[in-house]
């Protein structure tokens, strides 16, 4: 079940945070994306608008990598009002908030993926077909964690992209 982010109302406190019951305080609680985004916007002196809420909801619905243009088309098809400029500005704000990450593999198109609260994934890019695949790589996460631990650091994420093409047939 996906939890939808909504625009604030006159009676809601968008910065209200629920505390876990005492028996769950050993579990890492991840803040709702809406609260993280609202806090980032407030720090920038910006408002959490219905258009920004719709953009965030559309991103939450994606499971994988998406293009800004595809996101805009999805919003328009869903009946939401959002301009191209609003989508791109909101994507930049979401990236600054640590909610999404740009996936850099194509000079012609911007691609993004939701990263907040998710296990980092390795991106495999087929340069011969343009196919993109997100794959789980627990061994890379373990290496990242060990390298950080050895240096007294706390990992906040990582980015690994592999560029590949079909292997030539041996014959």
Do residue 110 and residue 154 come from a single domain?
Answer: no
- How, if at all, do strands 111-114 and 65-67 pair? antiparallel
Do residue 89 and residue 160 come from a single domain?
Answer: no
Cα–Cα distance for residue pair 111/103, rounded to 1 Å: 5
Cα–Cα distance for residue pair 94/8, rounded to 1 Å: 18
More confident residue, 169 or 87: 87
Residue 16's Cβ-count burial label (10 Å; 0-12, 13-18, 19+) is exposed
pLDDT digits (tens, 9 = 90+) for 73-105: 999 998 988 899 999 999 999 988 888 887 766
pTM above 0.75, yes or no: no
Percent of the chain with pLDDT over 70: 73
pLDDT digits (tens, 9 = 90+) for 134-156: 788 889 889 989 999 999 998 87
Do residue 110 and residue 126 come from a single domain?
Answer: no
| Mean pLDDT along residues 130-136 | 79
Q: How confident is the model at residue 72 (pLDDT cuts 50, 70, 90)?
A: very high
Q: Which range marks the domain in which residue 60 is found?
A: 1-118
Angle ∠(135,159,4) on CA atoms, nearest 5: 70
Tokens 């994988």 -> residue: 64
| Mean pLDDT along residues 128-139 | 82
Do residue 98 and residue 158 come from a single domain?
Answer: no
For residue 4, what pLDDT is reported? 60
For residue 3, what pLDDT is reported? 52
Cα–Cα distance for residue pair 169/2, rounded to 1 Å: 45
- Total number of domains in the chain: 2
Do residue 28 and residue 81 come from a single domain?
Answer: yes
Strand order in the sheet with 161-164: 132-135, 122-126, 161-164
Cα–Cα distance for residue pair 67/132, rounded to 1 Å: 12
Angle ∠(69,37,42) on CA atoms, nearest 5: 120
- The whole-chain average pLDDT of the chain stands at 77
pLDDT digits (tens, 9 = 90+) for 12-47: 444 444 444 444 444 444 568 788 899 989 999 999
């Amino acid at each position: 079940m996906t939890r939808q982010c909504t625009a604030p109302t006159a009676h809601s406190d968008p910065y209200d945070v629920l505390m876990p019951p005492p028996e769950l305080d050993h579990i890492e609680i991840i803040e709702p994306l809406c609260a993280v985004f609202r806090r980032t916007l407030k720090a920038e002196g910006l408002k959490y608008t219905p258009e920004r809420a719709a953009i965030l909801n559309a991103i939450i619905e994606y499971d994988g990598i998406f293009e800004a243009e595809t996101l805009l088309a999805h919003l328009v098809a869903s009946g939401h009002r959002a301009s191209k400029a609003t989508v791109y500005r909101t994507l930049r704000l979401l990236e600054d908030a640590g909610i999404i990450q740009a996936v850099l593999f194509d000079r012609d198109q911007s691609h993004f993926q939701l990263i907040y609260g998710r296990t980092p994934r390795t991106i495999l890019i087929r340069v011969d077909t343009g196919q993109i695949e997100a794959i789980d790589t627990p061994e890379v996460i373990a290496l990242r964690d060990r390298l950080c631990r050895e240096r007294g650091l706390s990992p906040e994420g990582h980015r690994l992209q592999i560029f590949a093409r079909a292997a030539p047939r041996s014959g």
